[in-house]
A = this chain, B = another copy of it.
Amino acid sequence: MDVKVYMQQVGRQARAASREMAKSDTNAKNTALTAMAHAIQRDAAKLLEANAIDMAAAKTAGLDSAMLDRLSLTEKGIVSMAEGLLQIAALPDPVGEITDLNFRPSGIQVGRMRVPLGVVGIIYEARPNVTADAAGLCLKSGNAAILRGGSEAMHSNQAIAACVREGLKAAGLPENSVQVIETTDRAAVGELITMREFVDVIVPRGGKGLIERLINEARIPVIKHLHGVCHVYIDDKADQEKAIKIADNAKTSRYGTCNTMETLLVAEGVAQSVLPPLCKIYQDKGVELRGCEASRAIVPQMLAATEEDWTTEYLAPILSIRVVKDMDAAIDHINTYSSQHTESIVTEDYSRARRFLREVDSSSVMVNASTRFADGFEYGLGAEIGISTDKIHARGPVGLEGLTSQKYIVLGEGHVRG
């Protein structure tokens, strides 16, 4: 197979399908989503079988346990994949929404209409559930999708794709509005990220290597998520009980997620009282602590943190801790080392809360809440296609709205410009 020819064909089909999708009504899209969900539940056994083939190959290839974990489909996972599609069906249709329609002095009425982006290319790794989530989100937002999953999940993805196609067909929507790339050739990615005439945006869900490749090679806009080096800052005006609860939850409720705290900042005025009980909790849960000198003077069991720790996303039971003079020093640390994902301040001080919200330059900024809330479901967006740490187009969790754009509409009665 000539990969370029194949990808051009996929692109051309996606572009044609995207024009149909942009026009399709809410009812058809919801019918498709519901039919996909039913097909996935009905075919649960087939999906598990396909996944077993992928899992066996992955084990033979010696993939690590985190990778195997992401690759594996369970009965529960299949149910929640189907439920995710039904939830997307229940969300309001963003397409066609008209806002801010106002008369101008010239007499014309000017407003904005929400429209699909067109063709969305999604590049992801092992997780087969992304196939259903991404298909569902792109469909509801009126886009055509080209999905490029990890080669290790090929059988699982194709089985899910069959259910997706069945749903599209049931609703009379073009089957090419969701295409799963059928080759494992890495050159397919190179084509996907440079076919400007056929693809409007690329959404990568993968590690740093993929993101770096996109920054260098993509010729199409990318909605990207670099990584999550999230911070909690415990202010000297914090309620200490809330502080300990939040700092515990932000680190230990899950270690492998991008909204997990990786560095804890503590105001020097309360370090002495907050750090000992908090570190006890971490140590009891087996979290390795790496502190600055001032923190280690208070909790000597900590390892010494190096400069590298401040920029590291551990995705593991490891936490770096730094004592800072005050909120300004905390904001400086964050704006220097953070990946601009999510940061939280714990304080009862009104003016500091207000300043922290304004001055911290991250996609989610919180007061008295755990960073773990940074998530499309928790924010009420429904499913998310990723969390953007960019500033352009979409910032933070990206749901249906992030997969759309707004065009201007102008209504007149024969108006001309003077």
Give how many copies assemble into the complex.
2
Task: Say if the beta carbon of A213 comes within 8 Å of chain B.
Answer: no
Contacts of A393 in B (CB 8 A): 221, 392-393
Task: Say if the beta carbon of A46 comes within 8 Å of chain B.
Answer: no
Task: Say if the beta carbon of A409 comes within 8 Å of chain B.
Answer: yes
Contacts of A117 in B (CB 8 A): 391-392
Bound-state Cα–Cα, A410 to B361, Å: 14
Task: Say if the beta carbon of A94 comes within 8 Å of chain B.
Answer: no
With A249-B417, A368-B415, A396-B407 in contact, is A216–B215 under 8 Å at CB?
no
Q: Is the CB of B390 within 8 A of A358?
A: no
* In the complex, per-residue mask of A351-395: 1 if CB is within 8 Å of any chain B CB, else 0: 000000111011111111110111000111000000000111101
Task: Say if the beta carbon of A76 comes within 8 Å of chain B.
Answer: no
8 Å CB interface, A176-232 against B = 196, 200-201, 215-216, 219, 221, 223
Q: Is the CB of A414 within 8 A of B361?
A: no
Contacts of A113 in B (CB 8 A): 357-358, 365
Task: Say if the beta carbon of A66 comes within 8 Å of chain B.
Answer: no
Which of B104, B253, B369, B407 has a CB less than 8 Å from the CB of A395? B407
Task: Say if the beta carbon of A1 comes within 8 Å of chain B.
Answer: no
Bound-state Cα–Cα, A409 to B373, Å: 11
- Number of A interface residues, CB 8 Å? 72
Bound-state Cα–Cα, A104 to B359, Å: 24
Task: Say if the beta carbon of A349 comes within 8 Å of chain B.
Answer: no
> Chain B nearest CB: distance from A199 CB in Å?
11
Secondary structure dominating the interface of A:
mixed
Q: Is the CB of A246 within 8 A of B373?
A: no
> Chain B nearest CB: distance from A142 CB in Å?
10
> Chain B nearest CB: distance from A44 CB in Å?
27
CB-based nearest B residue for A19: B335
- Contact residues of A with B, CB < 8 Å? 19, 22-23, 96, 102, 104, 106, 108, 110, 113, 115, 117-118, 196, 200-201, 215-216, 219, 221, 223, 239, 241-242, 245-246, 248-250, 253, 335, 344, 346, 357-359, 361-370, 372-374, 378-380, 390-393, 395-397, 405-417
21 contacts between A and B (CB under 8 A): A19-B335, A19-B361, A23-B359, A102-B380, A104-B379, A106-B378, A108-B373, A113-B358, A115-B361, A117-B392, A118-B391, A215-B219, A242-B413, A242-B414, A245-B414, A361-B407, A363-B407, A364-B407, A369-B412, A395-B406, A396-B408
